[in-house]
Structure formats: structure tokens, C-alpha cells
A and B are shown apart, each in its own frame.
Chain A
Amino acid sequence: MRGRNRQILIGGLVIVTGIGYLIWAGTQQALVYFYTPSEIQAKEGERMGKRIRLGGLVVEGSLTHAPETLSYAFQLTDGGARIPVRFKGIPPDLFKEGAGAIVEGQMGADGVFDADLIMAKHNEEYRPPSGDRPPPQELYRSLIKGERS
């Protein structure tokens, strides 16, 4: 009984290590939940017409809203490139200038990203309303990862 248990344990560990490695290797490549504006700009042609996600901070002063058509126009940035986005619908309450957002849709032929979904991305800071806001560099760092490579 002991011997069999040990065999199962070792066999299980080998399988788990293998699966773990596959997940790790696969996700390093494929687990890009959203692209940054810089990545979109660098490979604009490649991603044209494909349904993708784009994430960044809403550029201060770029947000315009036409209430009669429920349409929004704004720019997303990662501190480098800026990508213009248009959207029709109701964005979440936390969506505003200077805040993080991830949009779903596709890059239009005119270089404007056509979004049909806006998700507000907030950072990991929690504080009472009287607290101080963190500097913008900190927001880039915490909201947009994957810049390490």
C-alpha cells in the first residue's frame, strides 16, 4: 500500500509539473488580456479588423460626449502612444478622464478604435474620500503591466 501511494504521489507530481509548465509557457504567449496603445500603434495593420481589447488611461481633456446619440469619443494612452476611441452606449460610472479603461472592439480603417464595450479598470488603492491621489506615473505602473520585457 505504501509503495503504491508513493508511486501515485510521484506520478501525480510529474503530471502536475508538466501541466504547470504548459500553462506557464502558454500563458506567457497567449494570456495578453489587452493590448497597450503602443503595441497597437506598432502593429496597427496586423490587428486591423480583429476583435481585440485595448487598455490604457483616458487622456485628460480628450473625452467628449454627445448625449443625443449616446456616443463618446476619447483617447487611451499608456504614457507613450495615444489611440483615439469611439463608443456608443452607456459606460460604467468609474469611467472618466485620467482613469483606467479597457475597451473591446476593433481598429477601424480610419485609425480610430471602434469600441462596443467599456470596462473601467481601477487600481489596488483603497482609501477614504479625504486621502491624497497617487501621482500619474504610479497609475501607469499599476494599471498597465507587461512593460518589463
Chain B
Amino acid sequence: MDRLGVTLGLGAGALVVAGLWMGLVQAPPDAVQGEVQRIMYLHVPSILTAYLAFTVVLVCSIGYLVRGTRGWDRLAHASAEVGVVFTAITLFTGAIWGKPTWGVWWTWDARLTGTAVLFLVYLGYLMLRSVVEDQDRAGRFAAVVGILGFFDMIFTHMAVEWFRTLHQPSSLQRGTIDTALRLPLYVNLLAFVVLYAYFLTRRLRLAALDEAIEARDLGG
């Protein structure tokens, strides 16, 4: 394995261990919710990492439509796949956190609905890529979906500010989270971002191998 991949993998592992310790042991429980609030240390970092992943998809999709080079497309595809994994974590940790606090696993408010749509849009992105044979055609279609999905991401993020929802507004954005709970959150966020970068390098390696196989098959 390449040096970058090894570094990111080991870094992510160390940060995840530190994050687990801070989130599950070192951080105090929340005054209102008690211990169960610790699910935040998974839920918030995973969606922020998904935001990062889908922002990379947006930039690379535009890059691909403008430049038409495979590198942009490959990066967009890889980032979308990793983003879907982190969005899935957001959805199920949110449901598991919702039950003991709100009293329901799920409700159709603007934030939750938007997040479900976000997951489906990028899942659709991946399915589109697996259905369309020609890589350039698939890349162009997917790029449009990748740009479209970004608008849902902004909508979903802002939904708690714009509309009445069961979901509360962003604590980080409003600065309403005590330092004792914020620092563990930052460590976990960093862990997830490095983990994202690690997954991205692996996914790009996979894409490079796929293209090498394709080139060889065509070359006979």
C-alpha cells in the first residue's frame, strides 16, 4: 500500500480510538438528555463528513463537465460512494438517538425528510453509474445528479433554520454547546474526516485498477 494510504489509515485509527474515549468516557453527560446524548459524537461528525464528501462531488462534477477529463469523474464517483456510507450512519444514529429523546425513531419533518432524500439522491447517483455502460456518458449524467444533490444538501442543512421542525437547529452553528462537550465533538469530527480521506484513497486505487483492467481488455 502507498505511503499516503498507510498514513491516513493509521491516523484515522488513532483518532477514532481517541474519539471513542473522549465521547464515551471523558465527556460529561448532557444536563437534559443524560448519557444518551453521547450518540451526538457519531451523528454530527458523520453528517458533516457527508457534507464534505458531497461538496467534493459538486466541485468534481463541475470540473468534469467543464474539462471532460477522467480524473475529475473518478474523484466525484469515489467521494459520492464514501458520502453515502456516512449519510447512512447519520440516518440510523439519528433514529437510535430520536427514540429515547424525542420518543419516535422517525418523523417526516423537513430536516429528516431532506436527509432521507439526500441519501436516495446519491444512492441514485451510484446506481446510475452502475447501469450506464459507457464511462463518459455515465460520468456526465452522474455529474448533473451530483450538482442537483448539493442543492438538497443546502436545503436540508438550512431546514432547521427556515422551517418548523422536530429536529433542533445546529448547535455548532449557533455556538450553544458547552466546551466540555464541544472538544470531544471536534476530535470525533477530525477522526471521521481523516477516515473519509483514507476511504477516498482506497476507492481511487480501486478505480485506477478498474480502468487498468478495462484498458487491458480493450487492448486484447
Contact = CB atoms under 8 A, between A and B. Distances in A.
Interface of A: 1-2, 4-6, 8-9, 12-13, 15-16, 19-20, 23, 27, 31-34, 55, 91-95, 102, 117-131, 142, 144-146
19 contacts: A5-B68, A6-B66, A16-B148, A27-B163, A33-B164, A94-B102, A94-B103, A119-B103, A119-B107, A120-B101, A121-B168, A124-B168, A124-B169, A124-B171, A124-B174, A126-B178, A131-B31, A145-B164, A146-B163
A23 B151 CA distance: 11
Contacts of A117: 103-104
A71 B166 CA distance: 23
A144 B166 CA distance: 10
A142 to B, nearest CB: 7
Given A117-B104, A126-B30, A126-B40, A12 B168 contact: no
B32 to A, nearest CB: 6
A30 to B, nearest CB: 10
A38 to B, nearest CB: 13
A102 B166 contact: yes
A121 B102 contact: yes
A146 B109 CA distance: 14
Nearest to A129: B31
A126 B166 contact: no
B128 to A, nearest CB: 13
B104 A94 contact: no
B171 A128 contact: no
Interface in B27-48: 28-33, 37, 40
B110 A27 contact: yes
Contacts of A32: 163-164
A149 to B, nearest CB: 12
A126 B177 contact: yes
A127 B103 contact: no
Given A128-B180, A129-B31, A94 B65 contact: no
Interface string B185-209: 0000000000000000000000000
Contacts of B66: 5-6, 9
Nearest to B146: A12
A118 B103 contact: yes
B110 A33 contact: yes
B62 interface: yes
Given A2-B68, A92-B102, A126 B181 contact: yes
B155 A23 contact: yes
